[in-house]
Amino acid sequence: MRDTRKDPRFPVDFGSSFSGEQVAGRGMIANLSVGGCRLESNVTLAPDTRLALNIRLPDSRWPLQIDQAVVRWARHGTVGVEFQTISRTELNRLQHLLQDLEQGPLVLMQRTKA
C-alpha cells in the first residue's frame, strides 16, 4: 500500500478525548502530524465521522484543541483522523511540538521537565 500523506507523522503516546454529534470518548494518539493523527480507542468510530478533538500534550496543562476533524479510515479500534479546522494559536502549538519531535524525543522530554 502506498503512503499518500503529505505531512510526516511522528510516533507519540498522548491521551485524548473527542466528541461528535452522536459520539464521545477517550483514546490514545499513536502518531501525529500537522494534518492529522492515528487515534486508538475502544469507542467505535466510522469513516466520515466529524469530531472535536483534544490532545493532552506532555509539556502543557492545556490540551491541544482541534475544532473539527474527520475520520478517514477505521480498522480494529484504530482510526485515521484528518484535521480540518484548527485555530492559528493551536496550529502554532502543534507546529512547535512537531519541530521538537523532529529533533528527537529527548528534546521534548527536556522541555517537559523545565
- Using the predicted structure, report yes or no on whether residue 114 has a pLDDT greater than 60: no
- For residue 31, what is the domain's CATH number? 2.40.10.220
What's the Cα-to-Cα distance from 62 to each of 4, 6, 48, 72, 77, rounded to whole Å? 31, 28, 27, 26, 26
At 9-19, the pLDDT tens digits run: 999 999 999 99
For residue 59 the three cell numbers come to: 509539556
d(CA 37, CA 48): 15
Q: Is residue 5 part of a domain?
A: no
d(CA 30, CA 39): 6
**Position 6 confidence tier, pLDDT thresholds 50, 70, 90:** confident
Q: Is residue 1 part of a domain?
A: no
At 55-105, the pLDDT tens digits run: 998 878 899 999 999 999 999 999 999 999 999 999 999 999 999 888 876
Identify the pLDDT of residue 59: 76
What's the Cα-to-Cα distance from 76 to each of 12, 42, 80, 92, 109, rounded to whole Å? 19, 9, 12, 32, 31
pTM metric for this prediction: 0.85
Q: Is residue 4 part of a domain?
A: no
Instruction: Residue 104: give the domain boundaries.
Output: 10-113
Number of domains making up the chain: 1
Q: Is residue 40 part of a domain?
A: yes
